[in-house]
Amino acid sequence: MAQHEITFGDKDSGPAILDELGWPGNFGWSRRPLFFYNPGLSRAPRRRITESDRYIVFSPTCLISFEVSDNGYMGYIGVSVISLKDQHRSTHSDIVAFPLGSLGFPQDSSRGSIKIRYKNYAVDFIVMESGARIIKVDIPRFSHHRNLRGALVLSGPAEAESIVTNMPWRRERNAFRYSRISPWYTAEGVMQFGGSGMVFTKDKAWGIFDWSRGIRPRADVHYWAAACGQYGGRQMAFSVGYGSADSSFGTENAFFLDGRLHKLDQVTFHIPLTNWLEPWRFTSNDKRLEMRFTPHQERSERRRMLVCSINRRQICGFFSGRVTLDDGEEIEFRTLTGFAERRKTNH
């Protein structure tokens, strides 16, 4: 399938997500966030604009997910801590009624910060001029009267590339999803969880950044998998996915070696029909990716308010396989920590 790579412009003067009449356009993919996006130009009412920032950070012993989203009528603030040793899981989450843009999401994935003060806790996503990112949380009553407090610093390889896509929906003219995924961060810092500390050390802890803006369709199903780690002395990562959006202009599938993007075409998730905790397979139609996913544990999220519902089924585990790079070199990777998930949305 021919894909449309966008290589010109920058985030101030690059191809516009929305034209002067408010219709989405300039569909395709890019290695950097070159698109210009202003939700104020949209023809759709504010209740249909969706915005989301999510970080998944993990070490050899634990995985933490941080998420803030605004889906018009329903907002969400959530932090989940998952043990990769004993399968214990704890989540603190809140549904925010009718945020309608009040959570302060930046229009650009490369700058601007989110600072949430809700009830008696704080969640901050801070973007530094250097490109590093800081995650800070202070949640006094996170789980079973234990607090979660600390800060993590995420840094990427020099001149790292991201998989940036702008996709339409076939049957809804004004619906689109503009996303950026950067799965190659190293993480450093400490999270104090009750009486214990979760330590994240560079080159042994990793972070994945998932950023999305758009006009939501009435219903959507999206599959996504991502992982990061070191193998053979080099940093390896990937992001693969598909869903209801039209990916003919450019898929969201890519493998990253030391921060450099190697573009993949369509990737198929071969999911066990009866038990999602059995091994999975992933293959690509261009024969460049073949990998096996060994699940470790499963977690589910369900959010509902009025007519809005979001269900996510997430499987954590380890990926091993082989990939052919853009220059034809074939490399193998083993036991990269990551996850695979399915998200179903109805409005």
User: What secondary structure does DSSP assign to 61-99, as a single string?
Assistant: SEEEEEEEEE-SSEEEEEEEEEETTT--EEEEEEEEE--
Say whether 277 sits in a helix, a strand or coil: coil
CATH of the domain at 131: 2.40.370.10
The length of the chain in residues reads 347
Q: Is residue 132 part of a domain?
A: yes
| Whole-number pLDDT of residue 198 | 94
| Boundaries of domain holding 219 | 28-346
Q: Is residue 19 part of a domain?
A: no
Q: Which residues of 305-331 are buried (b: 16+ CB within 10 A; e: fewer)?
A: beebebebebbbbbbebebbeeeeeeb
Q: Is residue 77 part of a domain?
A: yes
Q: Is residue 22 part of a domain?
A: no
Rounded to an integer, what distance in angstroms lies between the CA atom of residue 213 and that of residue 108? 10
Q: Is residue 17 part of a domain?
A: no
Number of domains in the chain: 1
Per-residue pLDDT 10s for the chain (347 aa) are: 578 999 976 656 679 999 999 999 999 999 999 999 999 999 899 999 999 999 999 999 999 999 999 999 899 999 999 998 888 889 999 999 999 999 999 999 999 999 999 999 999 999 999 999 999 999 998 987 789 999 999 999 999 999 999 999 988 889 999 999 999 999 999 999 988 899 999 889 999 999 999 999 988 999 999 999 999 999 999 999 999 999 999 999 999 999 999 999 999 999 999 999 999 999 999 999 999 999 999 999 888 877 778 899 999 999 999 999 999 999 999 999 999 999 998 87
Is residue 72 within 8 A of residue 95, CB to CB? The reply is no
| Whole-number pLDDT of residue 297 | 93
Q: Which of 339, 301, 317 is nearest to 183 (CA)?
A: 339
CA pseudo-torsion sign 325, 328, 329, 332: positive
Q: What is the pTM of this model?
A: 0.95
| Whole-number pLDDT of residue 9 | 67
Which DSSP letter does residue 250 get?
-
Is residue 112 within 8 A of residue 106, CB to CB? The reply is yes
CA pseudo-torsion sign 275, 332, 81, 33: negative
| Whole-number pLDDT of residue 13 | 65
| Whole-number pLDDT of residue 49 | 95
| Whole-number pLDDT of residue 170 | 86
Q: Is residue 229 part of a domain?
A: yes
Q: Which residues of 21-49 are buried (b: 16+ CB within 10 A; e: fewer)?
A: eeebebbbbbbbbbbbbebebbebeebbb
Q: Is residue 13 part of a domain?
A: no
| Whole-number pLDDT of residue 307 | 74
Q: Is residue 16 part of a domain?
A: no
